[in-house]
Structure 1
């Protein structure tokens, strides 16, 4: 089946779901605000499938994410705002406009030049739309996950030169923030502890960025590793006829070490 027909079929399915007389009661109750959380959730499920190397799952999750786009476009079409064709045409025009090194006269541009052109084009687009940015940090959504938002703010600041040139000062900053956190812990003031802990996390994201690493993916990997080891602990305890909540701290630590060794 041609791709165009597949898209038309999906648009027809959504239109049927939203049919006032014969559609789905749940779908008919939805609006932009109620669907938005599902859109965010589906994006995370796409990232999870990628992290797990699950290509079959990725295919399904990409479909679910596409459904969100089609749903929002259908809601807009019903209100006479825009439709799916407007969304795709706008995307095509934007990609051509932001890639002059592919579609224009800037062939052979370096990665740095490509990034500069991308940002300059975005800024021009916002200015033309009457949304000129007043700060170098504008354009970073509040709704982003905290780690991702921290990294994007840091990248924005770095573009105007507010950044360390190498990783060692960043590592030193992490240590300094840990010292400040320890001092706050000794003071026992909850607000100070929260503030300093935030500084530690922010500096660790900065370190991750300088290491050309994705803090969110690194933390996701660490969480998966912890989960595997903890589940192995549970399995090993069950093999011994025990439960984790029956063990003391020393026994749990020994089991943790054993679980790590088994998983290797």
Structure 2
């Protein structure tokens, strides 16, 4: 199972971290300015600049901006993959003194996935990662008003999470949503930042990655269990997303032993 992957940029002023899907309980130091994007849905409890704990349900594609001085505690029994940038410069990146959050941020999700690909690469392309990280940090300058996910889409996300290994159609998902396919496409993209088809592929890839990390199953069996039509379908999807073949990914990250994960808060 992969541990936290991190890389310092700009002479150490910017720390980029890819936090794995794993149980965690952590407190984020208030001296950092942070930007984070959920690459998977996350649920747990958190406390934002107070001792009062509240349940959170953070959808994929949610961008969170936390200014310096705001302490964040978060805890989850499952966690979810998360891309986090920690900015140590004194110059404030994040306007105001309160934490901001926006769901369905397609640009943040795209940059988070690209940063993940670069961090997972056997040899890091320093210049490409720096450009990606600066573009991600630059999102803090936008003036978007925080938005909330559409609640009924939670049922669609649950259906995908439970049935990703089965064939899923827009008609099935639209039935769960209670609206037609065109409305589902529009609302899903607005709430998540990806189409339903792209998100199903992402969920299948996450499942395949965990089987590659934690089991010795043959690649054909992993493809089948993850919902891909065949082994080559899994291979092409993984290469497109991460730039690695299934064998390369397994050689780099395979471990059948559980690895305790300890890292700072994700700031949900």
Query: Which of the five TM-score ranges fits, normalised by the shorter chain?
Result: under 0.3
Structure having the larger proportion of residues in helix: 1
Larger radius of gyration: 1
Bigger relative contact order, structure 1 or 2 (CA pairs below 8 A, ≥6 apart): 2
What is the TM-score with the length of structure 2 in the denominator? 0.25
What is the TM-score with the length of structure 1 in the denominator? 0.26
Structure having the larger proportion of residues in strand: 2
